[in-house]
Amino acid sequence: MLKIVKIGGKLIEDEDKFQSFLTDFAALKGPRILVHGGGNFATDMAQKLGYPIQMIDGRRITDENTLRIIIMTYGGLINKNIVAKLQAKGNNAIGLCGADGQSIISKRRVVKDIDFGFVGDIEEINTGFIASLLEQNIVPVFSAISSTREGELLNTNGDSVAAEIAKAMSLHYDTSLYYCFEKKGVLANAQDDGSVIEEMDRKKYEELLEKKVITEGILPKLHNCFQALEQGVSKIFLGDFQLLQPGVKHTKITN
């Protein structure tokens, strides 16, 4: 079973929770892949450098300066720190972005109503390259940066990176996808962290959407989840930094 785990930037900022998560991740048996973002790190760096942050409906506009900061923070500071910590925990990890081995090929997002700038939509995953690393017991650690065929680096949604890798690798492995973020799962009440919906299929998802129970922040995650299940991913789980521990309450997504 190949396990693909996406960790959110807010968890990375909390050193105690981050270390706990990495200990659990490092202890997993079998092939595994870690995907990370780090939006708040990029925002803090931009503010220190005096660059304005543009957000529309919660989504970042990536101009040239912002892209440079994302490459530095995601591909450098965060990625290499994660790799070093996993090496210290006995995992032979390697830090990657989409340009490495042409592993995540994307195209720049087409401008419709909003120009998001240097943002990539994924076209292809190089499964052969990724599989070759896994076969050597190497743990790939992907930052949320993809690359065009022409060699342009692009900011790419980390949840989408994890989902696209999971879908592509499911052709070769029995694959599970985990989203670790600041909540214990999908909540029936956004104000109550204990109101975790422990299992959700598409019918229940649509019912909760109609009742406006599901908040906008988690909608893109759930969209990625159901799309991944339809395209070969075996199991999907959502939860907090303890998600990889047995017996911890979380949300399981099913068809």
Q: Is the confidence at residue 1, as pLDDT, over 70? A: yes
- CA within 13 Å, CB half, 139: 27
Q: Is the pLDDT of residue 247 over 80?
A: yes
- Answer yes or no: is pLDDT of 220 > 70: yes
38 assigned binding-site residue: yes
The domain that contains 143 carries what CATH number?
3.40.1160.10
Q: Is 95 annotated as a binding residue?
A: no
pLDDT per position as a tens digit, 177-206: 999 999 999 998 888 888 999 999 989 988
Region of poorest pLDDT, from 58-62, 81-85, 117-121, 158-162: 58-62
Range of the domain at 242: 2-253
The string over 188-209, giving b where at least 16 C-beta atoms fall within 10 Å of a residue's C-beta and e elsewhere, is eeeeeeeebbeebeeeebeebe
Give the pLDDT of residue 3. Answer: 98
| Amino acid code (one letter) for 152 | E
3-state secondary structure of 200: strand
For 126-151, write each residue's pLDDT tens digit. Answer: 999 999 999 999 999 999 999 999 99
What average pLDDT does the chain have?
Answer: 93
Give me the percent of the chain exceeding a pLDDT of 70.
Answer: 98
For 12-58, the pLDDT digits (tens) are 999 999 999 999 999 999 999 999 988 888 888 888 988 888 887 66
* 86 has a pLDDT exceeding 70: yes
How confident is the model at residue 22, as a pLDDT? 98
Q: If pLDDT is split at 50, 70 and 90, which confidence band does 163 have?
A: very high
The answer to whether 39 is annotated as binding is yes
Whether residue 217 is predicted with pLDDT greater than 80 in this model: the reply is no
Question: What tens digit of pLDDT does each residue of 221-241 get?
Answer: 898 899 999 999 999 999 999
Identify the pLDDT of residue 57.
66
Determine if residue 247 is labeled as part of a ligand binding site. no
Higher pLDDT, 131 or 214: 131
Q: What is the mean pLDDT of residues 87-116?
A: 95
In this structure, the number of other CB atoms found within 10 A of the CB of residue 97 comes to 22
Residues 213 and 224 sit within 8 Å (Cβ to Cβ): no
